[in-house]
Amino acid sequence: MAVHAHPDDESSKGAATMARYVAEGHPVMVVSCTGGERGDILNPRLQGNADIERDLPQVRRAEMAKAQEILGVEHTWLGFVDSGLPEGDPLPPLPEGCFALEPLDITTEALVRVIRQFRPHVITTYDENGGYPHPDHIMTHVVTVAAFEAAGDPEAFPHAGAPWQPLKLYYDRGFSRAKMTAFHEALLAAGKESPYAEWMKRWDDRPEGRVTTRIESAKYFAVREQALLAHATQIDPDGTFFSLSASEQGEIWPTEEFDLARSYVPLAEGEDDLFAGLPTDVTAADAMATSDLGDPVLDDVKPRAAEVEHA
């Protein structure tokens, strides 16, 4: 299960990994916490289109349906409203009723219900910075961590379904400085202009996120590209994501990266599979997931709702 803030996030973060697991026969669920209602039209080719601007929320739902079909995943809307990205000095308050301001017990119960229905062994989401500090991304982190903890507790949200404990929680690390540097240097070596210099400048004061797990997924980069392009209002086909072709990206950097933040099974050095360490027998995994597991092996996650309040 991959938990994301907005439609299009699933296609830019871990999409090739999801496509690989779908091709290998694993059920994969994408959860979109919001509908992206307060997003803008980011594709210059579509800006000024009155029909799209008038009905952008529905257009984004249609785009998500197309991306879902391309990736082969299941999908559900968690049902909360986009918080937007406030800008200005002083920073304006978040809009009333938005996802980032919803009570944590409400948002957590909604995700717990989906977890207990789908019963994933592995969940992916963003780190405490949200990947980037959008209030919905930060809230997605907080809610996913809280739901990971609560889903297996029979005393938590008893009306949200039978308990189910996921065994591993990962943070997506798809936009590492090392990867962007490799892309930047490849473009310069080919005599092309690189858009990644500005990205790297923005990371000068940010620590590089830990990577525990590298998923070989170059075979599915073209699928990822098509899923991205399905979000036509949000993705500029002449933009940064397409500075290098899918095949060029595969030659330069053939993996997608994740950080195992919490797990009920040990982490093996050089992990290359999100399901590594899990019981191969599904029945055994089910029994393990619903028993008293004790404390997770890795416990680097501490949900802090206050992070959202000051986003």
In the annotated binding site for Zn(2+), the residues are 6, 9, 137
φ, ψ of residue 178 to 5 degrees: the values are -60, -40
Contact indicator for 33, 106 with CB cutoff of 8 Å: no
Helix (H) or strand (E) holding 250: helix 246-252
Question: What are the Cα distances from residue 223, in Å, to 19, 78, 229, 281, 300?
Answer: 7, 25, 10, 30, 32
State how far the Cα of 130 lies from the Cα of 36, in Å rounded to an integer. 16
Known binding-site residue numbers: 6, 9, 137
Spatial distance between the Cα atoms of 291 and 30, rounded to a whole number of angstroms: 26
Instruction: Tell me how far apart the alpha carbons of residues 126 and 38 are, in angstroms, rounded to a whole number.
Output: 20
Q: How far is CA 71 from CA 16, 18, 44, 225, 256, in A?
A: 8, 7, 25, 10, 15
